[in-house]
Structure 1
Amino acid sequence: MFKVDVPPGLVQGDVDEGYGPVADAFRRNFAERGEIGAACAVYRDGRKVVDLWGGYRDGRTRAPWLRDTLVTVFSTTKGVSGLAVAVAHARGWIDYDATVATYWPEFAGNGKAGVTVRQLLAHQAGLAAIDRPLTVADLADLDVVADALAEQRPAWRPGTRHGYHAISLGWYEGELLRRVDPAGRSLGRFFAEEVAAPLGAEFYVGVPDTVDPDRIAYVHGYRPAELLLHLGTMPRGFVFGFLNPRSVTARSFANPKVLSQTGNYNLPEVRRLELPAANGTGEVRAIARAYGDAATGGATLGLGQSTLDALVRPAQPPTGGLLDVVLRVPTVFSLGYVKPFPRLRFGAAGDQAFGTPGAGGSFGFADPETGIGFAYAMNRAGFHLWDDPRELALREALYRTVLGERTQRPDPR
């Protein structure tokens, strides 16, 4: 694993009075937990109370992480992209309990006619892996992608099981949004115009060529085989599935194969794609800002009470139980988000929070109970599905030490 010593002077930013424990934990990540470059931001009741960044945006060249550094956040993108779908719901374009085929007739083929939007967004549709081989060039053509999605046959009866739609969820969300938006915009364009712009937040689903690539943090990734060295932190079933190219786990992450390695997200041709589940790139404070709006009524985004009520409501689990067919551990999903459960406790005790963690350790979420929008991202990929020790230390400092809320550590049972 790539390591580099980071001088204390490269840790910058500020926090409001009372939030010093979060800054302390952030500094310890560099001193004790192998951090190379990272940022953390927190909004509370609409006000930015934590804004920290530090280390190197590129550990190879020792280029410092600056205030405006952008970073790719992998599946933390899912939650940010999910706000675009939530905006569509708030505008009356989407009913979560309607069938996807209501809006996208071609989707009905091959046993998908009864799949609801709610099931799709909860990873219950059986569409985690796409059988048609796709190339990077294919992914740049939304019509080609839509055809591949529409012809896919579910891997299980929708609603009976769930399995992490690691890459495909974003494509399905994007095509659904393209169908219901009167302007027919892609999710990346819709997000830019209807989410990022109103918030004044710099975050991209598909990095435009106008963005200076030197502003983007270099991801210090790992080869898939290195997962075998971390069976104590990664679920064994997930690791062995990921390394078996025929498994639904591997096929969910590796079509095309270039998407299966974290380091490949440094490639300009991958950054440029619209991968609404995987390659969102932006300022970390932009994620916290977006979730902060959702946590405090969604006025800037116009989410409305019915949409917010749907997002905080407990998940509707599949009839066959919580074991994730792809990740091979229990998970809980709702409307494009992860919801708190014993193995991933985040937010306050009422479990109204919603968000998504990303490969390597990033995490962003909204917690309406405390009015918190939280985000952390880094450029050294770690080996946890969630609760990376660096991120967890920040969240624990915020919730236990500052807010006096419940521990964020998982239930050991």
Structure 2
Amino acid sequence: MPKLYRRLMLKVDVPPDLIGGDVDEGYGPVADAFRRNFTERGEIGAACAVYQNGKKVVDLWGGYRDGRTRTPWEEDTLVTVFSTTKGVSGLALALAHSRGWIDHDSPVAAYWPEFAQAGKETVTVRQLLAHQAGLAAIDRPLTVTDLADLDVVAAALAEQRPAWTPGTRHGYHAISLGWYEGELIRRVDPQGRTLGRFFAEEIAAPLGLQFHIGVPSSVDPARIATVHGFKPAEMLLHMGTMPRGFVLGFLNPRSVTARSFANPKVLSQTGNYNLPEVRALELPAANGTGEPRAIARAYGEAATGGAALGLRPATLQALIRPAEPPTEGLADVVLRVDTIFSLGYVKPFPRLRFGASGNQAFGTPGAGGSFGFADPETGVGFAYAMNRAGFHLWDDPRELALREALFRTVLGERTQHPDPR
């Protein structure tokens, strides 16, 4: 067996007394599914939280925050959630919209004049946030040092030429979306704050969230779970799980898929997000680190009106309503499968059912299996995050089991399993 595969298949037996937390009466099936993740699905360390109608009804954690040292996952353990960060960052854009700082149908260049280069003059905020701008890959080579200087990043973003005519296609802006969102916030915020600082002051502080977009030096690194990731080549062993086209594209350095994840190259491997210098960066699309219950709390607030954040009804209605797909269909140029995006979020579609049947839900899954979303129909904010990275783009069996237990068993809503069509 190849060495890399042996490393990934690290077997960790988690004793029952390392699973903690509580659920409200009636939510026991979620706790049962959480426990089974450790006994049946290879979980190492994880947490799951649910808010419903403003009340925390599920708060579970367990296992090891480091599977090799057997350091227990504690109640206050933080974990990096990869693209689940996008949904958290999306709340910053939603708040900017509620404050009248941005209009979804205005050109990005109206707020950021330097953006109007290389054929991007008419790209709207809506197109940008829906991954339709053709800006998934950034051509100028960037280093970790460059990423710490947002002026350098902004210059690289502004000069980028779209890979397709904006609005005609879409492709997952895996890393770049967060940089574009961050620069947009810097431009429209009267204080010129970064997205990470804006989130900390305007969303995390009012809600009491332990979640960071760019981990500050004041956070004890011992609280942060170690991500047990994988090397890109290991995806070849899981092409029955990951889409074949995505895997082959990811491993082809010239493809838009690979270039969307690998500038700089350090960002293309999940395990590298354990590096302190990567954790410290503001990567609003990729490296949010915090307590999973913070994600559930934020989404729970959005699902019930957003009053504590000052979100206007018009903003919430924009998040709830169906996406406006690109003119040439739903085929994702980067992920090589059909997807649906709207205003910085994923919306439900047949291959990714989440929330109730009205499809009002909005959220984002993250690499390895994490997921967070709001479902206004049921008043639910849901979050799950783990430290053993799996190989599903979404619907990781561990996360899906929790979501199915909540929506199907507890709430009596539709199955969360995908439509095979």
TM-score in terms of structure 1 length: 1.00
Residue in 2 aligned with 1:7? Answer: 15
1:393 paired with 2:401, answer yes
For residues 245-300 of structure 1, the C-alpha deviation after alignment (integer angstroms, 9 at most, x for no partner) is 00000000000000000000000000000000000000000000000000000011
Residue number among 358, 365, 368 corresponding to 1:350 in the alignment: 358
Aligned residue in 2 for 1:275: 283
SS of match in other structure, 1:300: helix
Q: Which amino acid aligns with 2:23?
A: V
Q: What's the counterpart of residue 330 of structure 2?
A: 322
1:62 aligns with 2:63: no
RMSD: 0.3
Cα deviation digits, residues 23-57 of structure 1 (max 9, x gap): 00000000000000000000000000000000000
Query: What amino acid sits opposite 2:418 in the alignment?
Result: P
Match of 1:313 in 2: 321
Cα deviation code 1:128-165 (max 9, x no counterpart): 00000000000000000000000000000000000000
Summarize deviations over 1:49-106 as a string: whole Å, max 9, x none. 0000000000011000000000000000000000001000000000000000000000
Letter in 1 for 2:397: P
2:277 maps to 1:288: no
Distance 1:351 1:281 in 2: 28
Counterpart pick for 1:210 among 218, 221, 234: 218
Structure 2 residues not aligned, in runs of 5+: 1-7
Which of 365, 372, 375 aligns to 1:367? It is 375
Distance 2:218 2:384 in 1: 25
Q: Which amino acid aligns with 1:365?
A: F
Deviation of 1:3 after TM superposition, in Å, equals: 2.2
Question: Which residue of structure 2 lines up, in the alignment, with residue 83 of structure 1?
Answer: 91
1:199 aligns with 2:207: yes
Looking at structure 2, the residues matched to 3 and 311 of structure 1 have their Cα atoms a distance apart, in angstroms, of: 41
Divergent runs of 4+, >2 A: none
> Which residue number in structure 1 is paired with residue 178 of structure 2?
170
State the alpha-carbon separation in 1 of the partners of residues 351 and 67 from structure 2. 32
What is the alpha-carbon distance in structure 1 between the residues aligned to residue 205 and residue 89 of structure 2? 14
SS state of the match for residue 270, structure 1?
Answer: helix
CA distance in 2 between partners of 1:148 and 1:5 (Å):
46
Matches for 1:228-307 after TM superposition, within 5 Å = 228-307=236-315
AA matched with 2:120: K
The separation in 2 between residues aligned to 1:332 and 1:23, in whole angstroms, is 30
State yes or no: 1:140 paired with 2:157.
no
Between the aligned partners of 1:156 and 1:225, the Cα distance in structure 2 is 28
After the TM superposition, which residues 1-80 of structure 1 pair with which residues of structure 2 at under 5 Å, given as runs? 1=8, 2-80=10-88
Partner Cα distance (1:47, 1:88) in 2: 26
Give the Cα separation in 1 of the matches to 2:306 and 2:312: 7
Identity of aligned residues (%): 85
In the alignment, the residues of structure 1 paired with residue 67 and residue 353 of structure 2 have an alpha-carbon distance, to the nearest angstrom, of: 32
Please name the residue that 2:138 is paired with: 130
What TM-score comes out, normalization by structure 2 length? 0.98
Separation in 1, partners of 2:311, 2:166: 28
How far does residue 172 in structure 1 lie from its aligned partner after superposition? 0.0
Gaps of at least 5 residues in structure 1 are none
2:4 corresponds to: none
Separation of aligned partners in 1, 2:361 and 2:388: 26
Q: Which residue of 1 aligns with 2:104?
A: 96
Aligned-partner Cα distance in 1 for 2:11–2:180: 37
Take 1:365 and 1:16, find their aligned partners in 2: how far apart are those partners?
20
